[in-house]
Chain A
Amino acid sequence: MSFTINALTKSLNVFHLSGSACNNCDIEILDVLTPRYDAERFGIVLVGSIRHADVLLLSGVFNKKSAVRLKRVYEDAPKPVVVIAIGNCACTGNMFTGSYNVTEPVSNYIPVDAFLPGCPPKPEAMISAVVKLIQKLKGK
């Protein structure tokens, strides 16, 4: 298993799933890939298909309808896959908690490996979260 995890952490393909987010988190996620931060230094690239993904980035609140799709996307992902919830909405539901179409936070639908609160979190915070997550996966 450690060989698998080592190989995985050296080359992370990120699939970004936006659950009707307000786009703030999405813009900050794209910032991580720009020349200023350049996530490709660590082998992190954005992919378009969930079948190519090692990391599932979630942003926004997943409501009763989109949660069904969220589960399907998670099942479509080839394992092992890491799930990161970006922003207050994905972590807790934020101000939509108790709304008529939002029932639960994301972690009640699929297993989430890392929570990254913030509205939106800074790109530095995302890089720091990925570093901590890699250390956690490696068992350090």
Chain B
Amino acid sequence: MRYLVYIGEVLIFPGLLFTAVIGLVTSWIDRKVTARVQMRVGPPFLQPFYDVIKYMVKETCVPAGASKFVFLAAPVCGLAAATVASTILWRVNIWPEKAFVGDLIVVLYLLTIPAIAVVLGSFASANPIASIGGSREMKLILSYELPFILACLVPVVKTGSIELGRILAQPAAAASPSGIVALIVAILCMQAKLTLVPFDMPEAETELTGGAYVEYSGPPLGIFKLTRAMMLFTMPVFLITVLWGGIPLTGGAVQILLGVVKYVVLIVITVLVRNTAPRVRIDQAMRFFWGPVTLFGVIAIVLAFIEGI
């Protein structure tokens, strides 16, 4: 019985099904707002769902010379990691006592796997364009992980715990100066983690024609798109959970509404940045993340130590 509940949590609520539905709705909001910014009408509400269903009925092409197993396993790994990360985050938000020691570290690792899956899949597809996309994705991971982890260390310093439940029990990190700096750093890293403009060099539709995904077709491509949509939901929730007091579903209507507002604010920032900024080069992105962003991450941690004294 206990295992049935676990499986239900991973597959239905708050895991795969719930995350996929909300993620696809969020990706519709992203596309609709983008269309409105460009003075277009935009796609209908169910468009992301149609897209995913369409990918599922298309043929899967495996290019000659590709490593078949890695090519087909990579999207599934990415989807699984995004699902489990979302499940752990929501379990903590709904039942804070269900957290386990070190779940912050587990989630940090799980949130990296979808990006690594893209790297593996692109290198396995034996396509030079995909290789360029994959190498850019790899450099992007190297650049944003350091400041992202620095930002996530701020609540750890403030609460002295690597357990998400304990971090949630304390006042939100974003209520202090160090938390605000950390949140800004984390939002910048989120933009890169979601590979949205200005950090969409791995995909770079105008120069790499789809980049890392260039050889993918049918269900594997659909799984990649679904993973991206789920990450668009999971990343803001992670930021809210770690730095901004979480979304307490048991805390009454006002608390839930407040959580939704936080989520909408993060999504609006992401979409507006994506629509107003041009793409930067990969070396500019690395310099940006290893320079000023890492510096601000360190400043946030020093501030957190000073506040703790």
Contacts and interface: CB of A to CB of B under 8 A. Distances in A.
Q: Are A and B associated in one complex?
A: yes
A89 to B, nearest CB: 24
A136 interface: no
B43 A43 contact: yes
B39 A35 contact: yes
Interface residues of B, number: 32
Interface stretch (A72-80, A102-110, A120-128): A72-80
Contact of A78 (B35, B39, B42, B218): B218
Contact of A52 (B35, B42, B221): B221
B75 to A, nearest CB: 13
Interface in A1-32: 3-4, 7-8, 10-11
Contacts of B44: 41, 43
Nearest to A15: B209
B137 interface: no
Nearest to B32: A40
A51 B220 CA distance: 11
Interface string A37-73: 0101101000111011010000000000000000000
Contact of B42 (A41, A48, A76): A41
Interface in B27-85: 31, 35, 38-44, 47, 50-51, 53-54, 56-61
B58 A49 contact: no
A52 B39 contact: no
A35 B41 CA distance: 8
Classify chain A's interface size: 20 to 34
Interface string B185-209: 0000000000000000000011011
A58 B56 CA distance: 26
Nearest to A33: B40
B216 interface: yes
Given A8-B54, A78-B60, A51 B47 contact: no
B58 A10 contact: no
B216 A35 contact: no
B40 A4 contact: no
Nearest to B59: A78
Contacts of B50: 7, 10-11, 43
A27 to B, nearest CB: 17
B43 A7 contact: no
A78 B58 contact: yes
A50 to B, nearest CB: 9
A110 B20 CA distance: 38
Given A40-B35, A41-B42, A78-B218, A54 B54 contact: yes
A54 B35 contact: no
A72 to B, nearest CB: 12
Nearest to B61: A78
B41 A38 contact: yes
